[in-house]
């Protein structure tokens, strides 16, 4: 195993958790604090769904692990600013 892989996974995980805290703080300050539990629940649902896909993919995902990790990190880097911009523009309570 490449020695840089654990560092890359740690950095991507840390950025995802930091973004989760940012979204939580943003919705707590701008909107209502009651939605904090919903945000945490959705984040845990996303993490567990990724774990289920990884477990079910098994051998197929293992063969393409390096490419999938690069693609996932790139998708995360693109999605985070788009999500933050959408949170600022979309009306929350209709």
What is the per-residue DSSP string for 25-88?
HHHHHHS-GGGHHHHHHHHHHHHHHHHHHHHHHHHHHHHTHHHHHHHHHHHHHHHHHHHHHHHH
Percent of the chain with pLDDT over 90: 0
pLDDT, tens digit, 9 for 90 and up, residues 36-80: 777 777 777 877 887 788 788 878 888 887 788 888 888 888 888
Say if CB 94 and CB 30 are below 8 A apart: no
Q: How far apart are CA 11 and CA 14, in angstroms?
A: 5
Question: Coil, helix or strand for 2?
Answer: coil
**Model pTM score:** 0.61
């Amino acid at each position: 195993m490449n020695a840089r892989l654990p560092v890359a996974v740690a950095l991507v995980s840390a950025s995802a958790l930091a973004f989760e805290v940012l979204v939580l703080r943003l919705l707590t300050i701008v909107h209502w604090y009651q939605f904090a539990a919903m945000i945490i629940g959705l984040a845990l649902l996303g993490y567990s769904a990724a774990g289920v896909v990884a477990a079910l993919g098994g051998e197929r995902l293992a063969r393409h692990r390096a490419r999938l990790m690069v693609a996932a990190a790139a998708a995360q880097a693109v999605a985070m600013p788009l999500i933050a911009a959408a949170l600022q523009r979309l009306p929350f309570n209709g």
